[in-house]
Amino acid sequence: MNPIKFHGTGRQFFNIWIVNILLTIVTLGIYAAWAHVRTKKYFYGNTELAGDRFEYLATPKQVLIGYLVMFVLFVLATTPILGTLIMLILLIASPWLIQRSLRFNAQMTRFRGIRFDFKGSVKDAFVSFVVRPLLGVLILLIIAVLLFGFVHLLDIEQSSYLIACICFLILVSLLLLLYYGSWVSKGIYTYVHNNYFYGSEQFNAQYNTNTFFKLNLISVLIVLAILAVPLLFSFGLIATLFEMDELELSLALTARMLTGLTALCISLTLTLAILIGSAYYTCKTRNYTYNQTFIGQDKKYHLSSTMVVGSYIILLVSNFLMVIFSLGLFSPFARVRLARYLASATQVHGDLDELTTKELSMNKTSSIGDAVATGFDFNVNF
Amino acid sequence: MRWLLDLISMLISNTFVADGFCCQLGQSIKYPASLSGASGAWLALEIHTPDGLKRMQADLNSIEVSDAVGNIPRSLTFSEGWVFIAKEPAALNAYLNMYLKRNWADRLESSYRWIVVAIIGTILFVLGGYYYGVPALTNSITSHLPNVAYEQTGQQTLRLLDEAYFKPSTISVKRQQQLLERFNKMVRDTNIGEPAVPKLIFREMGAPNAMALADGTVVVTDELVGLLKTDEQIDAVIYHELGHVHHAHVMHSLVRSSLVSLGLVLIIGDSSGIADIVSGGASFILMMSYSREMEKQADEFAAKQLKSHGGTVRPLIEAFQLLQNKEKKNSPKNNKEESSSSKGESLTGWLSSHPDTDTRISHILSFE
């Protein structure tokens, strides 16, 4: 087993980060391309697998073109008519942009003299990123029509029966929607993780929708369970306050403040619930998708991920507090901590010294197309 | 620390030796290799391939050396795509730093002086952005907004206030007509027009209050009309609100608060989703200092108008004092709650967001 190690330190990255910011300000943003490359080089170069480091190969010039195109599009997009047109074009071009971005990032990553590659087709990207999600809208419509029809069919006089029926139907359709979302995720992960190449060795990952559904469902249940407690509490509180409403003005004012307090409580709990729910989903999905990923013929190499929900949440919260109380100055430390944690939770199984592979000829990177995609940098990176 | 000793002995003997690995670009096999050089003039590479020892030598300046970023191991690419990576990267990095011209970004990043300059520069930039950049950007954005934006925002706010806080006014139509006539005359005198067209409306809300909306609507509460003793005092309060309309304060603060929260997200964002929620609270606190400045501007506007049309700023001060007395009569506990729960100048009391009434009065008196 080869654990991935991260050697970067917050202090060192802080220097890179603060110089990046200053130079980006001084050059009115142009240095951002150099900053991007240096940051990537720092994180890749400090990531070690079986004694060797990763390398990031993109040049600032490539990235700068992407940023410039994005900037021009952004400026044009603020004008009313052209803006809608640009949004439409970007939407239609998104599968192409995603595919190019994945390919660019893969080809700019080198390990032991061999570059990664991404060979997924634009057509498959179109299917997994556009067609499958859009089907959902269709399904939603069908569900709505069915529900509506069903309600009309029922006898309205039996209202309690009707409400129970509707609740049941809503529950079923929510579950259906969740299942459908899992199916979309599965499609995306399958597309991304099956088209990477390291030299001639292809990545291979088999996923099934049920596992994604299970993870999604548990995350939703976690959020609901956390929300239930203060919601019940505050309903009780508001109910008591309503009875006091007849009292004098000062009491009513206190009541208003208290409901404000419960509103604050609810929004805090909501934040907490979403944080925990999404942390659970992130950890478990990463573990699952990595553990299913094999590299090379005969599944010779095997990825694994061992993220733990509790420590990941502690990391996120402590990072967040660190960044807030330092007014952003400690964010490089936070990023290094996250990188170190993610590296420590990632392993590659199999003897890498036995791996003999050759770099296959790659689709020539048309620099502008790839750079444009980098500008948008879809973070579907593995 | 071993690499440091290596480096020192190497400097004394004027030669450099490093063990490491080589691989050829496009092929993943690693071979043991060693690198040697002298005084930074040339480097010799020995690769132990299964076919025997492979030697190559090159001038240091003709070898492709990967960028120095922090302490990441630097690789040397020789001819035929042979890449050398040292076992002890720190020693090789130190050697390369000594003999190769250093990348200027790397030089800045490893200089304490420049780091301090960068920290101070960045902080100054953020502060400058807050004190000069945001107001300037706000002005240019608000002046480019179409009139429709002002109308929509104003009407939207009124609808919300009507639902949450306001009741219809109980002031007699005759009295309303009277005040409206005075109002129309004041508007004519002040020459306020597009994008905001001043209108006066009356509402009941349980506390003496007046406020200006984005589209120029001035809302006066029944309680305020009841509390103030003379029409001139009502005029004075309305002049203050017209000051807000004249300076388009509502639109300014809307645009400004979006800019401030955008800036905050840029600074503290990216680490997790929690940032969004906290930045909302922080931007509210930051907005308070802008709002104090706006009150001052509105006071000045009112004072100037009163002086030029009525000859004295007295009514404004009288209005302040009446409102202050009224607030003092309410229990102090109540007062505290009000000021903490009110947003800028509006909902709970006309004075609640401005604790420094005496400073304001003396400032207004300077216009007398």
Does A335 lie at the interface with B, CB-CB under 8 angstroms? yes
**Which of A47, A59, A253 has the highest number of chain B CBs within 10 A, making it the mutation to test binding with B?**
A253
Say if CB A37 and CB A56 are below 8 A apart. Answer: yes
Reported as a single tens digit per residue, the pLDDT across A104-121 is 888 889 888 888 989 999
**Beta-sheet pairing, A301-305 with B199-204:** unpaired
Does A316 lie at the interface with B, CB-CB under 8 angstroms? yes
Does B23 lie at the interface with A, CB-CB under 8 angstroms? yes
Does B125 lie at the interface with A, CB-CB under 8 angstroms? yes
Reported as a single tens digit per residue, the pLDDT across A188-212 is 999 999 999 988 889 999 999 999 9
Nearest chain B Cα distance for residue A46, angstroms: 6
Contact (CB<8Å) A317/B274: yes
Contact (CB<8Å) A53/B85: yes
pTM, 2 dp: 0.76
Residue carrying the six token digits 């959020």: A223
Nearest chain A Cα distance for residue B95, angstroms: 19
Reported as a single tens digit per residue, the pLDDT across A48-57 is 998 889 999 8
Positive or negative, the CA dihedral A239, A241, A247, A252 is: negative
How far apart, in Å, do the first and last CA atoms of chain B sit? Answer: 77
In sequence order, what are the beta bridge partners of B42?
A: B38, B59
Say if CB B102 and CB B111 are below 8 A apart. Answer: no
Residue type, A158: Q
pLDDT per residue as tens, chain B (368 positions): 666 776 676 666 667 788 888 888 878 788 889 888 876 677 888 888 888 888 888 887 788 888 888 888 988 888 888 889 888 888 888 888 888 888 888 888 888 899 999 999 988 988 888 888 888 888 888 888 888 888 888 888 888 888 877 888 888 889 899 889 988 888 888 777 766 788 899 998 878 888 888 888 899 988 888 888 888 888 888 898 888 888 888 888 888 878 877 777 666 654 444 555 555 556 666 666 677 788 888 888 888 888 888 788 888 888 888 887 776 665 444 443 334 333 333 333 455 445 577 778 888 888 87
Contact (CB<8Å) B72/A46: yes
Contact (CB<8Å) A338/B271: yes
Reported as a single tens digit per residue, the pLDDT across A331-358 is 899 989 999 999 999 999 988 877 777 7
User: What's the confidence (pLDDT) of residue A47?
Assistant: 93
Does A28 lie at the interface with B, CB-CB under 8 angstroms? no
Contact (CB<8Å) A114/B27: yes
Nearest Cβ partner of B28 from A316, A331, A357? A357
> DSSP strand E in chain B: where?
15-24, 31-38, 42-49, 52-59, 64-65, 76-77, 82-86, 167-168, 199-204, 210-212, 217-221
Size of interface A-B (CB pairs under 8 A): 136
Nearest Cβ partner of B26 from A254, A324, A358? A358
Strand, helix or coil at A238? helix
